Amino acid sequence: MLNNAMNRRTFAATAFAAATVSALPLPAVALTEASATQLVNSVVTDITRVIDSGKSESAMLRDFEKIFVQYADVPIMARYALGADARTATKSQLRQFTQAFQGYISRKYGRRFREFIGGEVTVKHARRIKAGYEVRSSVKLRGEAPFEVTFLVSDKSGREKFYNMFIEGVNLLLTERTEIGAMLDARKGNLDQLIKDLKKTG
């Protein structure tokens, strides 16, 4: 379902289902509605800057990965995407999977950002949720009706980061968890093979 939404009106940068959100601790006092909104504004600004840079696709994808690492809580997102297998993985495997995951997400969605040329992203408002803040934005691409993208922001990692996105109500990370789970099943649970293949996927 996410792919259908992305194909129709694509947005991404590069969290969780409701159970994961409820498991996160309450945010520290430092995280505020204003700072959560500013983080999303910064994400949008940096992505737009790369899109408008005129760089080659490979250079843009490297920049998108840097943006993802800077603004997203990649370790938490990677653990959630890996699912139950994250509990049995070694520290080395988790580290390698996290690195492969960040590249995979950056390539997968970064290649679609060209559709943003001439578009507009407007951060609308934020509201407090148990795990931090939900920040809603409106995206308008050329020739398309506006659609909503929501970022979930927390400071669980010690810094303000977004840990999931909802694109037209579709949970990005939950969808990735399903896809990565299917990829792991196809490899008969061989996490090392998945890590190797994920580096070339996206």
Q: What amino acid occupies position 143?
A: G
Residue 119 has pLDDT above 60, yes or no: yes
Question: Got the DSSP string for 25-94?
Answer: PPPPTT--HHHHHHHHHHHHHHHHHHHTT---HHHHHHHHHHHHHHHB-HHHHHHHHHGGGGGTS-HHHH
Distance from C-alpha of 17 to C-alpha of 81, rounded to nearest angstrom: 10
pLDDT of residue 71: 97
Task: List Cα–Cα distances, 94 to 41, 75, 91, 191, 196, in angstroms.
Answer: 30, 9, 5, 10, 13
Q: For residue range 160-172, list pLDDT tens digits in order.
A: 999 999 988 999 9
Torsion of CA 129, 138, 37, 43, to 10 degrees: 120
137 pairs with which residues across the strands?
Answer: 123, 149
Q: Which domains does the chain have, with CATH numbers?
A: 2-22+29-198 (3.10.450.710)
pLDDT band, residue 20 (cuts 50/70/90)? very low
pLDDT band, residue 156 (cuts 50/70/90)? confident
Token pair 């909503």 is found at: 148
Residue 19 has pLDDT above 70, yes or no: no
3-state class (DSSP) for residue 119: coil
Question: Got the DSSP string for 66-83?
Answer: HHHHHHB-HHHHHHHHHG
